[in-house]
Structure 1
Amino acid sequence: MTALPELTTEHTVTVPPRELPVTTTADVVVAGGGPAGFCAAVAAARAGARTVLVERGPFLGGTATGAMVASFMGFYWRTTLVGGGIGHEITRRLVDAGGASGFTPYVLAEASENPLRVRTFPFDPEVLKLVLDDLAAEAGLDVRLHSQAVDPVVSEGSVRGLVVQGRYAPEAIGAGVVVDATADAVVCRRAGCAVENPQGRHERQPMTMMARLSDVDIYRFRALPREEKRRLARLGVAAGELAQQLLSLVSSPSGHDAFILMTRVSGLDGSDSEELTRAEIAGREQVRRVLSFLRREVPGFENAHLSAIAPWIGVRETWRVVGDHLLTESDVLSGRQFPDAVAQAGGPLDVHDNTNGLTLVEPPAPFSVPYRSLLPRGVEGLLVAGRCLSATQAAMGAVRHMGTAMATGQAAGVAAALATQLGVPPRAVPADRLQALLREQGAIVDSPAQPRLPRTA
C-alpha cells in the first residue's frame, strides 16, 4: 500500500465547488439573532416583509443571553428616554414575565477611578429567552437556530441572499435584502466591504466572561462605601485575582443572584476561532479566581457559589464596516443630530483598552445614528446593524450598548422591508419614509426633550 503524503500547513487542498439548493425565499434575511438582529427581524416582519432570522446559537438574544450580560444600557441619556420601539417593548415584556423590575439608577465602574451614573435595566437572561421566543412567534418569523451565516449570495453586484451552514449541510436562502447583524460583520466582509479597523487585531477592546453567583447578600454589598469598594478592588488586583479595578455586578430580580462583570481577557481576537477558544478558557479561569477572592474578602459573598458561567465570552469589538457615513467620536461627544437619523442614543462612550483600563465619557446631549451608517459603502442589497455598523473604535464604544443596538437593528429591519416593497436597493430608500415608518413602530428617531428629572434621579 502506498503511503499518502502528510499534510502540513504549507499544503493547500482543493474543495470541489458545488451547487446549493435554494431552500427558502424571503423578502428579508437577517444574519444574527442578538439584540440588533432580533429587532431587525421583528421590525421587518411587522412592516410586512417575509423574514428569515438566522442564528448560530440554540437560542436568541446573543450577548444578552449567550454572554449573560444581564443589563441593558443605552436606553437613557441621563433621565431622558432615547430608546423606544421594539427594544423598549422587550423591557416591558420582561417585567410582565417576572424577569425584571424596571429601569434603575446605577453607578458604572463604581470601584474604578472614573465612575459614571447611568440608568440600566437588569434582567434575568433565562426569562429573556422565553420573551424573545414569544415575540418571534407573534411576528411570524421563520427562525433558524443552529445555523451559521457563511456567505452572501451575490448576483450582478448586489446581495440577493445568504448561504447558511446548518448542522449537516449548507443551503441558500434567497432574499431581496440581507441584514448583517452578526457583530463580526461576517456577511459584509465576505461581500468585500471595506472595514474600519486601522489598529491591529490584538488592540481591540478586551473581552469579559460573565458568571452567575447564587446566595449573595446583594444589599450588604451595595451598602459598602465606595472607598471600601475601591480598596477591595485594588486588593484583588494586587493579589492577581482581579484583572482590573472593578467590582461590577448586576443583581437578579430575585435579589439573591449576582451576575459578575469582573474578568478581562486582553490581546486576543474575538473573531478568530483559535484565539476565541483561548479567550473562553482564560475567561473561565478568571471566574474561578474572582469567586475565590469574593468569598474570602468581600462582604455579602461569604456564602456565594457558582451557579452558571456564560455559554460564551462577551466580545466588545471585532470588525466594523465602512459605510456611507463613518460615525465618529466627535459626532458622539457633540450630541450631533443628523437629518437622516434613524436612532437616538445616549452613550456613554465606553472604551476598554489593554493598558490603562476604562474610559467613560457622557455625551453632553443625546446623539443620533444616521441611516448612512447602516449602508456598507459600495455594496447593494445589504444593511448592517449592531456593533459592526459604520463607526470608529471610540464611537462604537457609545453605540454598542444593547439598547442602541436594538434601535439600529429596528431601523435596518424597517429599511430592508421598505426597500423590498418599493423595489429599490436600501441606499435608495427615502430617509423621510423610513423615519415615518419607524415612528409608527414606536421608535425614537427625533431629538428627545431635555430631562425633567434631577440629574441624580
Structure 2
Amino acid sequence: MAGDARGTIERSFDALVVGGGAAGVAAAVTAARAGLSVCLIERYGFCGGGAVAGLSGTICGLYEASDDNEAEPRKVVHGFVDEFIFELERRGGLTAPVRYGKTYTRVHDPLVWRETADKFLADSGVEVLFHTTVTGVIQDGDRLLGVEAYSKEGTLRLRAGITIDASGDADVVAMAGLGSFVGADGQVQNPTMIFRLMGVDTDRLFGAYGKDTIMPAEITDLIATQNRSGRYSLPRTKIWVFPTTRPNELLCNCTRIIGSDGRALNTLYARDFTEAEVLGRKQVREYARFFHDHVTGCEQSFVNDTGVQVGIRQTRQGLGRYVLKNEDVLTSAKFSDGIARSPWPIELHAGEKPRVHWLLNDFYEVPYRCFIPERGDGLLFAGRCLSAEHEAVASARVTAQCFSYGQAIGHAASIAVDEQIPASSIEGSRIRMGLNRMGARLDE
C-alpha cells in the first residue's frame, strides 16, 4: 500500500497559545473575547494540564491563610477564575472549600474540568487542535513568528502575531533560543503520582483524623513506624487527602518520586520522566495498601485511577524582564505592574515531610514583567514556567494563579495585536487596569 504523501499545512492567526492548562485556557479565551483569531494547541485530547493530566485535583491559591482555625475562607483572587469556578459549580464538579492547613482549597472533578474548558473555548471561538505537539519555532532573529507542530494530519506551520507559551515547561521559549533556567542550579522539586481511592467511608476517616486535609501527626508517625517495620516502602510520611465531589472517594497526594540514584527526577529528560511514571505507579499501590490496612474508613478502599501522567511541580522556566524573588513572596511584595495575586504558601517537597511557609492574612503580587522574555518580540509565556526563583515558584505555580496569569497575558496579547506594538512595550499598570475592568479586583 502506498504511503500517504502529506504536505505541510500553513495557517495564520492573531494569537497562538501552546498548552491547554489553566493559563492556556484563560489566555486563549481572554484574547478571543477581545476579538482576536486564536488557536490553542494541546498535546493531549483534553485541556487541564497539571490540574487534570497530573490530577492535582484542586484549585489552590484562592484564599488567604490565617492562624484562626475558625475563620471563614477569605477569597482574594478573582477574574476569569470566578467564571470557571461558577461553571464547575453549575455542573456539580467542585467541592465547597476544604481546610488545608491554615487556608482552604477546593477539589474539582477532572472530567468536569475538561468539559468546562471545552465550553469556554467553544463559546469564545477559539480553534482548538488537540493531539498536536509543537516541534519547532518560526522566527526572524529574536522575533517569533509562530511554531511548527505535528499531528496525525501532518506537519503544521502556524503563524501568529503573538505566541503564548503556556506549555508549563517553557518549551517554546527554549526552542526559540531565549533565556531560560531550570530550578535551583538545575535541581527541581520531585514529581508526584496523585491517585484516587474509592470505597472510602470519608465520614469515618475525617471523623477520626479531623477535617484538615493535611493528615495529622498520628498518620505521619504510623507511616514512619510501618516503614521501620520493613512491611511497607512509603517514602513520604506527611500526606494530604481530599474529599471529592464523588461519594466515598479520596484524592490522595502522598507519593514522593525520586530516582534510583537518589535524585529528584527532572521530567525534561525522557529517561527521568519514564522512571517517574513507573516508580509513581508502584508507590500508588504501596500507599493504597497502607490505607487499606491501617487507615480508619479505608478498610474497603481500592485505587480508582491515577493521573494520566505524574504531577510536575517544576522544570524549565522562562527568564523574564523580572525574576520574582523568594523575598518578594516572604514579604508579601506589591508591584505597580502586578497582574496577579497569590496568598498561597511556599511548599517545598523534599525529604519525608514537605516544608510549608505560610503567608498569614496577606498576599503578594506577580509583576507583568515575569512573563515577558528578557529579549525578543512576538512571544509571551504564562503558567508555572513564569520567571521566578526556586522557592518563589513553589508558591506561584498553583492553579488559581495560573488562571490569573493566563487572563493577564491574553489581555496583553490583544493589546499588542490590535495596536501592532511589542508586548514588552505595554505598561503593566495598563494590563492591571484592564484586568480590573474584567473583574480581577486587584485594587480592592
Name the TM-score, length of structure 1 as normaliser. 0.88
The residue identity in structure 2 corresponding to 1:315 is I
Question: SS state of the match for residue 208, structure 2?
Answer: coil
Q: Give the drift of 1:95.
A: 0.9
190, 199, 207: which is aligned to 1:206? Answer: 190
Structure 2 residue 245 is matched with structure 1 residue 253: yes
The residue identity in structure 1 corresponding to 2:124 is A
Distance 2:294 2:429 in 1: 56
Say whether the 8 Å CA contact 2:44–2:130 is kept in structure 1: yes
Name the TM-score, length of structure 2 as normaliser. 0.90
Alpha-carbon displacement from aligned partner over 1:182-209 (angstroms, at most 9, x marks no partner)? 11100001111222336454x3101110
Alpha-carbon displacement from aligned partner over 1:146-179 (angstroms, at most 9, x marks no partner)? 0112222112431111111112522111100011
Say whether the 8 Å CA contact 1:343–1:444 is kept in structure 2: no
Say whether the 8 Å CA contact 2:183–2:315 is kept in structure 1: no
Distance 1:150 1:81 in 2: 40
Q: How does 1:43-442 map to 2 (within 5 A)?
A: 43-78=30-65, 79-104=73-98, 106-107=99-100, 116-197=101-182, 199-201=184-186, 203-225=187-209, 226-238=216-228, 239=230, 240-266=232-258, 267-353=264-350, 355=351, 357-364=353-360, 365-442=362-439
The residue identity in structure 2 corresponding to 1:350 is E
Distance 2:226 2:245 in 1: 27
Q: Give the drift of 1:357.
A: 3.7
Say whether the 8 Å CA contact 2:16–2:162 is kept in structure 1: yes
The residue identity in structure 1 corresponding to 2:206 is R
Distance 1:166 1:74 in 2: 35
The residue identity in structure 2 corresponding to 1:282 is L
Q: Give the drift of 1:426.
A: 0.6
Distance 1:356 1:122 in 2: 24
Question: SS state of the match for residue 80, structure 1?
Answer: coil
Distance 2:183 2:165 in 1: 21
Distance 1:433 1:199 in 2: 32
Q: CA RMSD in A?
A: 1.8
- Counterpart of 1:10 in structure 2 is none
Question: SS state of the match for residue 77, structure 1?
Answer: coil
The residue identity in structure 2 corresponding to 1:380 is D
Distance 2:437 2:242 in 1: 33
Residue-pair matches, total: 418
CA 1:299–1:404 in structure 2 vs 1: closer, same or farther (change >3 Å)? same
CA 1:191–1:26 in structure 2 vs 1: closer, same or farther (change >3 Å)? same
Q: Give the drift of 1:235.
A: 2.9
Distance 1:61 1:197 in 2: 23
- Counterpart of 1:9 in structure 2 is none
Larger deviation: 386-395 or 251-260? 251-260
Distance 2:239 2:121 in 1: 35
Q: Percent identity?
A: 28
CA 1:210–1:129 in structure 2 vs 1: closer, same or farther (change >3 Å)? same
Distance 1:386 1:123 in 2: 19
Alpha-carbon displacement from aligned partner over 1:225-252 (angstroms, at most 9, x marks no partner)? 4342233232344344322112311211
Q: Which runs of 5+ in 2 are unaligned?
A: 1-5, 66-72, 210-215, 259-263
Say whether the 8 Å CA contact 1:29–1:178 is kept in structure 2: yes
The residue identity in structure 2 corresponding to 1:158 is R
- Counterpart of 1:111 in structure 2 is none
The residue identity in structure 2 corresponding to 1:124 is D
- Counterpart of 1:11 in structure 2 is none
Distance 1:433 1:228 in 2: 51
Larger deviation: 420-429 or 234-243? 234-243
Question: SS state of the match for residue 320, structure 1?
Answer: strand
Say whether the 8 Å CA contact 1:232–1:298 is kept in structure 2: no
Say whether the 8 Å CA contact 2:8–2:154 is kept in structure 1: no
Q: Give the drift of 1:24.
A: 1.7
Q: Give the drift of 1:325.
A: 0.5
The residue identity in structure 2 corresponding to 1:34 is G
CA 1:307–1:197 in structure 2 vs 1: closer, same or farther (change >3 Å)? closer
Distance 2:83 2:208 in 1: 34
The residue identity in structure 1 corresponding to 2:64 is W
Alpha-carbon displacement from aligned partner over 1:315-371 (angstroms, at most 9, x marks no partner)? 101011111000011011111111111111111111212x46422112242110100
